[in-house]
C-alpha cells in the first residue's frame, strides 16, 4: 500500500487508537478521547451533521479526505465512513499528511 494516509490509519487501528463509525466517534468526542475526526469523501451529508456538531462542541478538528468509504474499508478491514483518532501523535501526523495532500487541507471545521 503506497497511500501514506491509509497506511497510517491501518497502523493506528492495529494500535487500538482508532474508533470507527458515527456513533462510536461521537461517543469518543464526548468522552474527550478523540483528537481528530476523519470522513470519507462519499460519507452521507445527513450522517456528517451530528458528528460535526459533536466535533465542534468538543473543539476537535474534522477532515474530509480524498478517499471513498470503500478505500477506507479495504485499508482498515471494516466498513468505514467516519473515524476518530484517539492518539495525539497519530492525529498530528495524519493532520499534516492531509494538509500536505490538499492545499486547503480538506478541513471541514477549524
pTM, entire model: 0.89
Q: Is residue 69 part of a domain?
A: yes
User: Per-residue pLDDT tens for 50-65?
Assistant: 999 999 999 999 999 9
Q: Is residue 109 part of a domain?
A: no
Average pLDDT (83-106) is 87
Q: Which of 51, 54, 53 is nearest to 21 (CA)?
A: 51
Number of domains in the chain: 1
Residue identified by cell 478523540 is: 34
User: What is each CA distance from 90 to 8, 22, 42, 78, in whole angstroms?
Assistant: 8, 20, 23, 19
Strand locations in the chain (E) = 18-20, 36-39, 61-64, 82-85, 107-109
For residue 34, give the CATH number of its domain: 3.30.1330.30
What's the domain range around 31? 4-104
Helix (H, G, I), strand (E, B) or coil at 86: coil
User: Per-residue pLDDT tens for 10-45?
Assistant: 999 999 999 999 999 999 999 999 999 999 999 998
Amino acid at each position: 500500500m503506497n497511500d501514506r494516509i491509509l497506511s497510517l490509519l491501518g497502523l493506528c487501528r492495529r494500535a487500538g487508537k482508532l474508533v470507527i463509525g458515527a456513533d462510536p466517534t461521537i461517543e469518543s468526542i464526548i468522552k474527550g478521547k478523540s483528537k481528530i475526526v476523519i470522513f470519507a469523501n462519499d460519507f452521507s451529508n445527513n450522517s456528517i451533521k451530528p458528528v460535526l456538531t459533536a466535533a465542534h462542541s468538543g473543539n476537535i478538528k474534522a477532515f474530509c479526505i480524498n478517499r471513498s468509504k470503500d478505500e477506507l474499508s479495504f485499508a482498515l478491514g471494516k466498513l468505514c465512513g467516519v473515524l476518530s483518532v484517539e492518539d495525539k501523535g497519530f492525529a498530528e501526523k495524519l493532520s499534516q499528511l492531509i494538509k500536505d495532500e490538499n492545499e486547503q487541507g480538506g478541513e471541514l471545521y477549524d
